[in-house]
């Protein structure tokens, strides 16, 4: 796959469907129904970039679709699209040629562009701020063609995440925020600065471009270190999971105590995470796709927020950074590595 340009790989596979669910859906399957789902992702975040077991979230989505009775090539046809924001108009034209029954697009900025283009297919997404971004009228009733799952639960969760990092690294003074450039240069910069400022810390921008290379990440960390960053906040974008080993290596080399949303980053060598289970969110996203394929209205399907946040610590990383994790923090941890 070539990064940096529009790429689409379409598979429209015909075939008879097995009886997978009771009632009318069972009859439709027996009649040979093939459900058509489009998956839309940014470069580097698609299924094709992740080998089985490499990104648990995609494994969970695939496994749940199979558990629900969908078999690609039998009763399911998947169109996989990898697209940068600037190429969304081409994607929209492609989707309109053969409108899928549902779209799974776990990228807030891509879905915002699809919404602006007026795409008619129902969409399930994974977003940071569905209401604030205009994807939904409210969490309880999105009201349009887009529904899905939020990765966070508002400002208090972001502040809590940074507070936990501060507790682990009490001498920390400056936190670098690793996030997509368009977010840092948009409304998220103010939110990051306010969250850090509320704890007496200075926020430093560490923005990256979608599909950024390893060299680009190394340059980003070098700049942040030069500005005095001794802490690192990873955005919830899937890039931080795909690049988790590189990010953990660079943070440790720069002496930055890091906090992320996902335990995957901690397993890879990050210091700590505080957040929802991304694999579970993708698993539930598959269930939402299933409901839509059976006729549910996405506008009436609530945008779900996480209700449980897990704290994960890596003691080997803490030792490498010269940090002594307080017993009170250890007592709060759900999982401890190293």
Instruction: Let me know whether 188 and 322 are in one domain.
Output: yes
Instruction: Let me know whether 127 and 179 are in one domain.
Output: no
Helix (H) or strand (E) holding 177: strand 174-180
In this structure, are residues 58 and 282 in contact, taking their beta carbons and an 8 Å threshold? yes
pLDDT confidence of residue 53: 45
Q: Is residue 267 part of a domain?
A: yes
Instruction: Let me know whether 268 and 285 are in one domain.
Output: no
Number of domains in the chain: 2
Q: Is residue 2 part of a domain?
A: no
Q: Is residue 1 part of a domain?
A: no
Instruction: Let me know whether 19 and 140 are in one domain.
Output: yes
Domain that holds residue 224: 155-275+309-337
Q: What is the dihedral of CA 102, 105, 106, 111, to 10 degrees?
A: -120
Instruction: Let me know whether 322 and 289 are in one domain.
Output: no
Per-residue pLDDT of 116-148, as tens digits, reads 998 899 999 998 889 988 999 999 999 999 999
Per-residue pLDDT of 158-188, as tens digits, reads 899 999 999 999 999 999 999 989 889 988 8
DSSP 286: H
Mean pLDDT of 318-332: 97
Q: What is the CATH number of the domain that holds 227?
A: 3.40.50.2300
Instruction: Let me know whether 42 and 14 are in one domain.
Output: yes
Banded pLDDT at 85 (limits 50, 70, 90): confident
pLDDT confidence of residue 129: 84
Instruction: Let me know whether 227 and 203 are in one domain.
Output: yes
Percentages of the chain per state (helix, strand, coil), in multiples of 5: 40, 20, 40
In this structure, are residues 242 and 44 in contact, taking their beta carbons and an 8 Å threshold? yes
Banded pLDDT at 84 (limits 50, 70, 90): confident
pLDDT confidence of residue 306: 87
Instruction: Let me know whether 188 and 259 are in one domain.
Output: yes
Per-residue pLDDT of 200-242, as tens digits, reads 999 999 999 888 899 999 999 999 999 999 999 999 887 888 8
Question: What distance, in Å, lies between the first and last C-alpha atoms of the chain?
Answer: 36
Instruction: Let me know whether 269 and 171 are in one domain.
Output: yes
Instruction: Let me know whether 187 and 235 are in one domain.
Output: yes
pLDDT confidence of residue 284: 96
- Give the DSSP letter string of 222-264: HHHHHTT--EEEE-SSTHHHHTHHHHHHHHHHTT-EEEES-HH
Q: Is residue 119 part of a domain?
A: yes
Q: Is residue 283 part of a domain?
A: yes
pTM score of the predicted model: 0.79
Q: Is residue 250 part of a domain?
A: yes
- Chain-wide mean pLDDT for the chain? 86
How far is Cα of residue 32 from the mean position of the Cα atoms in its chain?
34
Instruction: Let me know whether 56 and 69 are in one domain.
Output: yes
Q: Is residue 187 part of a domain?
A: yes
In this structure, are residues 242 and 235 in contact, taking their beta carbons and an 8 Å threshold? no
Instruction: Let me know whether 171 and 104 are in one domain.
Output: no
Give the whole-number percent of the chain exceeding pLDDT 70: 87
């Amino acid at each position: 796959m070539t990064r940096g340009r529009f790429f689409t790989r379409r598979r429209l596979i015909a075939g008879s469907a097995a009886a997978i669910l009771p009632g009318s859906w069972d009859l439709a399957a027996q009649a040979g129904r093939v459900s058509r789902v489009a998956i839309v992702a940014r470069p580097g975040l698609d299924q094709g970039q992740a080998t089985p077991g490499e990104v648990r979230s995609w494994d969970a989505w695939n496994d749940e679709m199979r558990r629900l009775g969908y078999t690609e090539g039998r009763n399911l046809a998947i169109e996989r699209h990898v697209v940068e924001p600037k190429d969304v108009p081409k994607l929209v034209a492609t989707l309109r040629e053969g409108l899928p029954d549902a779209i799974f697009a776990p990228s807030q900025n891509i879905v915002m562009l699809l919404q602006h283009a007026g795409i008619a297919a129902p969409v399930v997404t994974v977003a940071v701020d569905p209401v604030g971004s205009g994807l939904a009228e409210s969490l309880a009733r999105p009201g349009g063609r887009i529904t899905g799952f939020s990765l966070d639960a508002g400002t208090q969760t972001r502040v809590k995440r940074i507070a936990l990092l501060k507790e682990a690294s009490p001498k920390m003074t400056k936190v670098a925020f690793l996030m997509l450039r368009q977010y840092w240069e948009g409304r998220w910069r103010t939110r990051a600065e306010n969250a850090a400022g509320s704890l007496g810390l200075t926020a430093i921008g560490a923005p990256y471009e979608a599909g950024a290379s390893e060299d680009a990440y190394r340059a980003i960390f070098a700049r942040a270190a030069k500005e005095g960053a001794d802490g690192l906040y990873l955005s919830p974008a899937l890039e931080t999971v795909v690049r988790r080993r590189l990010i953990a290596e660079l943070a440790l080399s720069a002496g930055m105590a890091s906090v992320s949303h996902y335990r995957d980053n901690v397993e890879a060598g990050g210091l700590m995470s505080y957040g929802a289970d991304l694999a579970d969110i993708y698993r539930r996203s598959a269930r939402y796709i299933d409901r839509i394929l059976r006729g549910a209205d996405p506008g009436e399907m609530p945008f779900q927020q996480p209700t449980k946040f897990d704290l994960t610590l890596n003691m080997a990383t803490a030792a490498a950074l010269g940090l002594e994790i307080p017993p009170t923090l250890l007592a709060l941890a759900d999982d401890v590595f190293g």
